[in-house]
Amino acid sequence: MDAQTVRDVDVEGRRVFVRADLNVPIEDGRITDDSRIRASLPTIVYLLERGATVILASHLGRPKGKVNDALRLKPIADRLSQLLGRPVRMTGDALGPGVQVAVDKLRAGDLLLLENLRFHAAEEANDDEFARSLAGLADLYVNDAFGAAHRAHASTEGITHHLPAVAGLLMEREVDALSKLLRRPPRPFHALLGGAKISGKLEVVEALLSRCQAVLLGGGMANTFLAARGLELGKSLVEEDQAANVERIVAEARRKRVRLMLPNDAVVAPQIHRRARTQVVAVTAVPRDQMIVDIGPATRKAYAEHLGKAKTIFWNGPMGVFEVPQFAEGTNAMARTLARRSSHGVVTIVGGGDSVAAVERLGLAAKMTHVSTGGGASLEFLEGKTLPGVAALLPADTEISDPAEDA
């Protein structure tokens, strides 16, 4: 990584503001996937073991600048306590007199979790006064929130104007892993893309066409490509307004000699329901009263065989409505395929919340080369965009002074 990291700084005795991405799914007060919390542990533990005082901050959900009791970080503090084997104290707000009192009581090796940053509208507005106040709590800033690095918010970009800023271990790992896809990855390089809509992934598809030898499509986004071919897809999700964009992508793939693979069979159902009756049909024979909910067995086999030729695979997005167990076999099959390929030395990188959830649920995350914590951030990175949270970090050759020496 071309930026300073926590390993480049003497953190003993320092107050360190760590921006983590602890934005995890919570249902009825219970965390349903703690992978982002676990991914943040190496940086937290690294700092605590070296005598730093850690002030941990994150957002959760979209409270839109207002306090929302359902989006408080208490469940995250509880889970952190379990994982760290020590109590994790937290504040009732992200800023204010009470926060300053709590920070002043901290000693080396202590950890304090601030309340949801997005309870303040100033966070997403990247308000400089808010950023300056956050910076006033510490003397070093560590950004370990890759999943929020594509947002120029007060805690991801604004704060770096008031504190020396370095990358956490997770941030470093994310940037290094995804950079490999931009800098001559082992070929053939194949991309497996799914999810509901093509409209949100146009730029990443176009970027991948310049790097991949094959792009395999599934999920609702594949429906739009099939519909553009003139197929009748019953009640399936189709973005009809994207026909021109689809035609452009198909033409670009043909011009660059990139193989664009689409499903040839599908699992269909009359509705999205756990008890819905399903059947497998050719994509050319979807009944009018049915909708595509997953790729079919023939497509799963064809995709697995084609991915068997790859030496680098990037996967983003499920192959169907994988939240419903009986519509998840296509997504699960692709997760197992990537795990097998990874065991044979193939570079396998998984990005995107649903894809990550699938490999986590199957217990396959550890078998992948890299599982990204950043959905939108990983896509924008692969599009070649500059991520504000990454760009704001100090260059690798920068010297960071000890605050005691400056005093």
Report how far residue 19's alpha carbon sits from residue 300's, in angstroms, rounded to the nearest whole number.
40
- Write down the H helix ranges in 50-151: 74-84, 97-104, 121-124, 128-135
Report how far residue 387's alpha carbon sits from residue 80's, in angstroms, rounded to the nearest whole number.
28
Report how far residue 96's alpha carbon sits from residue 101's, in angstroms, rounded to the nearest whole number.
9
Kindly state the tokens that stand for 150. 């594509």
Which secondary-structure segment (H or E) carries 293?
strand 291-295
Report how far residue 2's alpha carbon sits from residue 390's, in angstroms, rounded to the nearest whole number.
10
Kindly state the tokens that stand for 118. 């997005």
- Write down the H helix ranges in 105-218: 121-124, 128-135, 169-182, 202-209
Q: Among all residues, which ones are annotated catalytic? A: 36, 197, 353, 376
- Edge-first strand order for the sheet with 189-193 is 259-261, 214-217, 189-193, 312-316, 347-350, 370-371
Looking at residue 367, the DSSP 8-state letter turns out to be G
Report how far residue 405's alpha carbon sits from residue 386's, in angstroms, rounded to the nearest whole number.
34
The end-to-end CA distance of the chain, in Å, is 31
Strand partners, 113: 56, 90
Beta carbons of 222 and 262 less than 8 angstroms apart: yes
Contacts of 175 (CB under 8 A, 6+ apart): 1, 3, 146, 167, 381, 390
